[in-house]
Every structure is written in structure tokens, then in C-alpha cells.
Copies of this chain bind each other. A is one copy, B any other.
Amino acid sequence: MAEKKLPTSNYKGTRDFYPEDMVFRNWMFSRMREVVESFGYREYDGPILESIDLFKAKSGQEIVEKQLYDFVDKGDRHVTIRPEMTPTLARMVAAKVRDLPKPIRWFSIPNLWRYEAPGHGRLREHWQLNVDIFGVNSLRAEFEILQLAASILYAFGAKSTDFRIQFSHRRILSDFLQKSLGLPADKEQAVAKILDKKSKITREEFLSLLREVLDNPETQIPLIDRYLESDLTSLTQFPEISPEVIAEMQNFYREMEAVGHSDNLDFDPSIIRGFDYYTGFIFEIFDTDPKNKRSLYGGGRYDNLIGLFSNDQLSGIGFGLGDVTLQNFLETHNLIPEFNRDDSVYIPLLSDSVFLDLVQLTTELRSSGITVETSLDVQKMGKQIQNAEKKGFRYLLIFGEDERNEGKVLLKDLKQSSQKPLNREKLAEELKRELGI
């Protein structure tokens, strides 16, 4: 009777990264790193398990109750796999806040876990670039973060027409809700959530949701419509909205404009983002592709990141960019290059008698920085070429007994169906020139 075999599928909602997937992931992450590091941001990381207390206090209720991968460890500690990075970041910053030179510019690319129904672009394990700056109270931090957020997409080859950046300020929203609409505290969040949904529902649904909550829909709904259509100029017609904050936003826009960042930048009063979380400037970046108008990422300012851990105050601004979201954007806009192995060589083993010579040769090449994969079984040339092709190689080095005796090596180009002799003595040098590395 045949033994029962285990299935080879991975855990639901996760991905196996085969080499061809990993090449892409490494490419994407290293490009992100380059951009973020060029602004002086430094990478950090924490353990994937944290005490559940970190999340109970700050993460949304839905996350804690339904989406955590939490469990009790063998030492009776209630822990969870991190669903987001900010609590770990806050913990680490709080532990050393007085020693860390300001501004603190940090980033990380953690994997995060949420128990969700896997679906389009939603996975249980995903990676997320997290970028944060702390200790700058002026809008210059916002300025830098927006510049950086856009630079990432530009570094992948995106054009300014491929995405739009929309920004607002929580004070503008809360002044409008509290003062212009005169909402009591308990209705403020409910109305904000409806505004946030607006673009995903019909006008009728939108109005009916509002009517359920508002006390005077006849006068309040026209005000809401006028608010949502406002720009930074017409917004001044709401006398209840802080003129100082409007002026700050105007000035912010002008500065972005002055350095050429205004093409795809808009003030948008409907931007909400995490209601409990952000306390000042907020922004969101959207894909402009008509088939795919979705939010790519966003962030904002939070006034007291480390309050859970410390009495010190520290204001920061940051954003998070998910790998699946970015991959979708890059695919939509054709920004993923073809990955190949054209900078490396494959060496077939043609007879046992040259094996040790080949080892010497590959050692030389590798120490010159050339990637060399060799066959370890003697096989016919045709089969070896087939195998090299299947492995994605364009270049082969042919080194049999004849070549050894003649002091040369043949470089075979499978794409051009050509070959040329290289000098064995100067092989590394000549090969690097041929491969252009």
C-alpha cells in the first residue's frame, strides 16, 4: 500500500518565493532601500512576535479581535505575530528616546500577518515598507516624507501622471465636523467614516447613511457637499475651519510647487485615513490607471507615538507601502524589467579529467566577482546546453581537454549562437569585458 503523502501547498493566504519570485522581491526591496537610504533613513527590525498588550491598546478593534495571529506561548505569555510595525517601532524608539539624535529617520521592511479572507491583493502574510521621521514639529517633515514617498515610485520608473498625491489635515476635518456641522463628539467619527466611504458607494447610499446619523440632514448635507468640493481657496469660506491651518496647507502646497512636486499633488478634504491614529497632516497616493483607481499607500502625522511606553512626547510622520500593492502598480504600468542571468556563466563538465582544472578556473572567476555555475556530472554537450538554457543562462564557458591544452576557453553565446575564444591566462579580465560587468 502506498504511503500517504503530505500536500505541497503552502499555508492559505501566503506565498512561496521560488527563485524567480525572489529575484523580483529582492529587486523591489533593494530599490526601495536605495531611495529611502539616500535620504539618510536607517533600517531597523524587531522580532516577529510581540506581547499582545502592544496591540490591544492602539490597533483598531477589528484587528485585535478578528485578525491577530495571537496565541499563548509555552511560558504562558500571550503573544502575537505582528500585524503592523508601528507598535514595535514605538516600543523601540521609547526605549532609547533620550539618546537618539533627532530627527530620528528610520525605515523597515517587515513581514506582517493578518487573519483575513485572502482575496485580490489581500494576503495573510505581506511585506510593508515603513518609513518614519520623528522629532520635527514643522511641516518640513511632511515635505520630506512626501518627496520621499514620490521618489520611490519615480525610482521604479513611474511618471508623474501614473499617480496622484492627495493631502489634507485632520484639524480641517475636525473643525468642519465639530464647528461647521456642529456634531457632538459621538457622531463625529460616524460621519467621518461615511465621508471616507463616499467614493466606494452610490450617491443614494451615501445620503441614506448620512441621514441615519445627522440631526438636520436638510441643512447639513449641502454643507458636506460644499466641504467635499472645496479647494484650499474656497475652504476659507468656512469661517469655523482654522484659517491658520488652511494657510499652512497653502504654504505647504506652494513650497512643493516651487520644487516641481505639484504636478500630481492635490489638496483633498475627503481624505480621512485612520481616524483614531493621525492627528495632523494626512496624505494618500492613488494609482491613476483608469482600470485600477485605488489607493496605493498613505500616511500622516501622529502626535504622540510613544505615549504607551513613556511620558516623553514625540511627534512623527510616516507611511507604509505594501509589497503586493506596489507589485500591482508596477505590473499595471509595465515597470517590471525582465530578469535574466546574462551577467553570469554556466560551465558544462565535459570530462572527468578536467574537473580539478575547472575548480581552479571557477575559483579565479568567482574571486573576481563573476557568478559561475558548473555542471557536476559529465554529460553530452547537447544535454548540457539544454540544461543551461532551462536554468536561464545565456553564456556558457567551454573548457574541455582541447581547450586546456591550448590555453584557452570558449565563450558561447546561446542567444547569438556564436562563440569566441578567450585567453585562459587573462580569463577573468576578458570575461568581465564580454559580460559588461
Which residues of A does B touch, CB under 8 Å?
A: 2, 5-12, 14-19, 22-23, 25-26, 37-40, 42-51, 53-54, 57, 66, 69, 71-75, 77, 79, 81, 91-92, 94-96, 101-103, 105-106, 111, 113, 115, 125, 136, 138, 140-141, 143-144, 147, 151, 255, 258-259, 308-311, 344, 346, 355-356, 359-360, 363, 366, 369-374, 376-377, 387, 390-391
Q: Are B136 and A309 in touch, CB under 8 angstroms? A: no
Q: Are B309 and A373 in touch, CB under 8 angstroms? A: no
The contact sample of 29 A-B pairs, CB cut-off 8 A, is A2-B311, A6-B51, A6-B54, A6-B309, A10-B50, A11-B49, A11-B77, A12-B77, A14-B49, A16-B47, A16-B95, A17-B44, A17-B46, A18-B96, A19-B42, A19-B43, A19-B44, A22-B42, A37-B371, A38-B372, A47-B125, A48-B111, A48-B113, A48-B125, A101-B391, A138-B376, A138-B377, A259-B356, A259-B359
With a cutoff of 8 Å between Cβ atoms, the chain B residues found around residue A11 in the complex are 47, 49-51, 77, 79
CB distance from A98 to the nearest CB of B (A): 12
Q: Are B346 and A40 in touch, CB under 8 angstroms? A: yes
With a cutoff of 8 Å between Cβ atoms, the chain B residues found around residue A75 in the complex are 12, 115
Q: Are A5 and B366 in touch, CB under 8 angstroms? A: no
Task: From the candidates B6, B45, B143, name the one contacting A53 in the complex (CB within 8 A).
Answer: B6
Cα–Cα distance between A372 and B43 once the two chains are bound (Å): 15
Q: Are B46 and A373 in touch, CB under 8 angstroms? A: no
